[in-house]
Structure 1
Amino acid sequence: MGKQVIDINWDQKFDFAGTFKKPIMKVLVLGAILLVAGIVIEMMAGGHEEVAEAGDHAYHWYHRLFAAIWVNNIYFAGIAVIGVFFFALQYAAQAGWSAPILRIPLSFGNWLPYAAVITIVSYFIVGHDIFHWTHSYLYDVNDPQYDRIIDGKGGFFFWPMAKGSFPIFFIVRMVVFFAAWALFFNKLKQLSYAEDLEKSDSYWRRTRTVSAIFLVFFAVSSSVAAWDWIMSIDTHWFSTMFGWYMFASWFVAGLSAVTLITLFLKDKGYLEMVNSNHIHDLGKFMFAFSIFWTYIWFSQFLLIYYANIPEESVYFVERLQSELYGPLVFVNLGLNFILPFLVLMTRDAKRHGVFLKVVSVLIIVGHYIDYTLMVQPGTLREHGGLV
């Protein structure tokens, strides 16, 4: 019997035509309108006055805008670098199943240069209101608001300059991380394209080597970035698991974005080589890492809450006992664990595009809420929320 020949067009290129641009532009315009409307409503609710005290700072309408900007920066920068991470992981592991979809996560890295500029610039605009440790009086032993704990951590932010001055060490880390991530992305993209054109094993080997180096760098840089960009907002609090927690949140959101785009392109007639087995594998990844994120969440909560150390457990107390954030904690668990777990439990659900699309959207929205819960309580106190 002869072998079955499957005619597949391997030279496919997505055409970003006007039919795709128009809906995107409509969404962007709608988003801009809602942003302006939200700012106006917040200003009318008390934007010109100090409506309440948030810690040792008065709350203004723009504080909520600053917190939202920071959540967006870190969340979408994370999804971008996770795309590069997923690509590198496949090469380092010599995985074959993912070959037809690798261009999708790799393309996420195109956002990294923009994310770098936006995050660094926005830090100089919103950083003083987001990060309590930037206030110089905290390091003055003669000031009544002197903070011994924050003073002890000052060197991690300000070295080699004086504490409370310019946080050069913090800024250098941010610049180095983004620069390295972008450089690794460009190198991997260059090698990957060359491998397609030249069809030489040498490019595959070089790509695998660069991928392995990137994975080691990413393991360190992503954890330090978690400490710098999110955990330092609640400066008195710390968790040795937080680097893993932020990675898990980034990773499952990135996997959901890869799955959603893969299904979208498949529906539009692209990715002829992608079959139900590839879709099933993506579904298994989403299912598994939703459970992994929950495992990290619960482990961090259980270990810290059970220890009942005030400077650690306060992180969970101010979220769980808050009338504002308490319900969001359970929404967070519902969207990121309960619904994905129940929907994707069966084999058929992991191979069905409709189920995967719904779960992907839920997870992407859910982990945005997760990052909102990481940022807002430490910056806005009881003046945050999603609406």
Structure 2
Amino acid sequence: MAHHTNYNLDQKFDFTAAAKKAIFIVGGIGALLLFIGILLPVLGVGADHAVHHGETGTHDAFHWTQRLFANLWINNVYFIGIGIIGVFFFAIQYAAQAGWSAGLLRVMISFGYWLPVGAIIMIVSFFIVNHDIFHWTHSYIFDANSPEFDRIINNKGNYFYWPMEKGSFPIFYIVRMFAFLGLWIFFFFKLKNLSFQEDLNGGVGYWYTIRKWAAIFLVVFAVTSSISAWDWVMSIDTHWFSTLFGWYVFSSWFVAGLSAMTLVAIFLRERGYLLMVNENHIHDMGKFIFAFSIFWTYLWFSQFLLIYYANIPEESIYFVERLRSDIYSPILFLNIGLNFVLPFFVLMTRDAKRHTIFLKVVCSFIIFGHWVDFFLMVQPGTIGQNGGIGFMEIGMFLVFASAVAFVVLTGLSKNLLVAKNNPMLEESYHHHI
């Protein structure tokens, strides 16, 4: 492979002070907006409709902390999804024996660095926010003598509380959360470490070992990603259910994750790294984003259409809450515009997928667009008509996004940028579409 020495396979990413400063500035702006978003309701600005429609009984007064907690949960779930999608896409390359992507493997796996951080934030925040986010955590719902007794949620109670008494401590739910996050972190470290050992020792054996672990991970991920979507998002609207919700959340995570990986790859190329990654590889990433944006739309439409024409009250309430609301209805159309119309029309041509300026714009919009998607899954069911996208939402999003960028790029700078002993590198060099 002597004729490829000009690619400098021993390159390491230097996470410069300037790049860190840019990320800290974005995070700082986010923190400032978040602070303003908290300050306004504390000072009583815009608190004229302080009635919380989502719950009955003793919880009528709406408090700004509920909106803060809802935001914390949206960003938690969203960014942990982007983290695990990096590991998932890395595993897919090995399971599919793909050669084109060999130069991008390190970019993919680096998103897993967010998982341990995100897992800690998620577990801690669950214990803080659970009563404000998850209606099923209130014990009076399971008390047959209580006026707030809810037969439907009571029937679902074992899913959260087994083997303990319903309404006590959701041990089954929390065990699942620890198990899923623990498994994802385990597989991230396993795949990452094997990939780095391949750099040191070479040989085809590592590729086969990674492929084996990748295959195991994909089976685990198929189950855990679906159940985590029910646990962390669908259980917010406890009465409502959708049989393709796991797929829907996965598709939203996947498009956002692909967009984030593409942005990092472009960022590195523009700074003189990843010399072996050319417009053909970037084109492929653009094709994935285009294709899975349509897949997301197909699932969105399938879920909507089936619920719409069956018109069963317990199913249709989900869309009624969002479409008939002055707050959420425009955001619902914005969601479709950002996640379907924009990528569909902008990325349709071959050139658009090869010119980084198009991809940078579209990927940035998509990352925000799928955050909007998660916003729509969480906010209406938690804080009813007291929501909206304001200072608090944008601020929290920027804080999380800059934290993820910092953690991912720090992880990326620790080792070689290209898996230099990967047996598929030769195929990746000659990749042309």
TM range (shorter): over 0.9
Deviates more, 1:225-234 or 1:57-66: 57-66
1:51 aligned residue: 50
Q: Partners of 2:45 and 2:52 in 1: how far apart? A: 13
2:166 aligned residue: 163
Q: Partners of 1:162 and 1:49 in 2: how far apart? A: 39
**1:132 alignment partner, one of 131, 135, 138:** 135
Q: Is the 8 A contact 1:138 1:145 kept in 2?
A: yes
Q: Determine if the alignment matches structure 1 residue 193 to structure 2 residue 192.
A: no
Q: TM-score scaled by structure 1?
A: 0.97
> What's the offset of the Cα at 1:113?
0.7
Q: Is the 8 A contact 1:49 1:60 kept in 2?
A: no
Q: Is the 8 A contact 2:41 2:47 kept in 1?
A: no
Q: Larger relative CO (CA 8 A, sep 6+): 1 or 2?
A: 2
Q: Is the 8 A contact 2:107 2:264 kept in 1?
A: yes
2:22 aligned residue: 23
2:8 aligned residue: 9
Q: Partners of 2:168 and 2:274 in 1: how far apart? A: 53
2:417 aligned residue: none
Q: Partners of 1:335 and 1:5 in 2: how far apart? A: 40
Could you list the per-position Cα deviations for residues 264-308 of structure 1 after superposition, in whole angstroms to 9, with x for gaps in the alignment? Answer: 111011000001100110010000000000000000111111111
The runs of 5 or more residues in structure 2 that have no matched partner are 391-433
Q: TM-score scaled by structure 2?
A: 0.87
1:210-359 to structure 2, matched below 5 A, reads: 210-359=213-362
1:36 aligned residue: 35
Could you list the per-position Cα deviations for residues 230-249 of structure 1 after superposition, in whole angstroms to 9, with x for gaps in the alignment? Answer: 00000000001000000000
Could you list the per-position Cα deviations for residues 209-245 of structure 1 after superposition, in whole angstroms to 9, with x for gaps in the alignment? Answer: 0000000000000000000000000000000100000
1:109 aligned residue: 112
**1:123 alignment partner, one of 114, 118, 126:** 126
Q: Is the 8 A contact 1:83 1:254 kept in 2?
A: yes
Query: What one-letter code is carried by the residue in structure 1 that aligns with 2:81?
Result: G
Could you list the per-position Cα deviations for residues 341-382 of structure 1 after superposition, in whole angstroms to 9, with x for gaps in the alignment? Answer: 000011111111000000000100000000000000000100
Q: Partners of 1:238 and 1:5 in 2: how far apart? A: 54
Query: What one-letter code is carried by the residue in structure 1 that aligns with 2:164?
Result: M
Q: Partners of 2:309 and 2:223 in 1: how far apart? A: 28
RMSD: 1.5
Could you list the per-position Cα deviations for residues 281-340 of structure 1 after superposition, in whole angstroms to 9, with x for gaps in the alignment? Answer: 001000000000000000011111111110011101110111100000100000000010
The runs of 5 or more residues in structure 1 that have no matched partner are none
SS at match of 2:6: coil
1:166-177 to structure 2, matched below 5 A, reads: 166-177=169-180
Q: Partners of 1:27 and 1:86 in 2: how far apart? A: 27
> What's the offset of the Cα at 1:47?
9.3
Query: What one-letter code is carried by the residue in structure 1 that aligns with 2:32?
Result: I
Q: Partners of 2:14 and 2:351 in 1: how far apart? A: 31
> What's the offset of the Cα at 1:49?
9.8
2:150 aligned residue: 147
Query: What one-letter code is carried by the residue in structure 1 that aligns with 2:203?
Result: S
Could you list the per-position Cα deviations for residues 161-202 of structure 1 after superposition, in whole angstroms to 9, with x for gaps in the alignment? Answer: 000000000000000000000000000001111112211111
Query: What one-letter code is carried by the residue in structure 2 that aligns with 1:239?
Result: S
Q: Is the 8 A contact 1:100 1:271 kept in 2?
A: yes
Q: Partners of 1:234 and 1:199 in 2: how far apart? A: 50
> What's the offset of the Cα at 1:51?
2.2
Q: Partners of 1:50 and 1:247 in 2: how far apart? A: 35
Q: Partners of 2:52 and 2:242 in 1: how far apart? A: 27
1:178 aligned residue: 181
Query: What one-letter code is carried by the residue in structure 2 that aligns with 1:60?
Result: H
Q: Is the 8 A contact 1:47 1:60 kept in 2?
A: no
Runs of 4 or more above 3 Å deviation: 3-6, 46-50
> What's the offset of the Cα at 1:253?
0.1
Identity %: 63
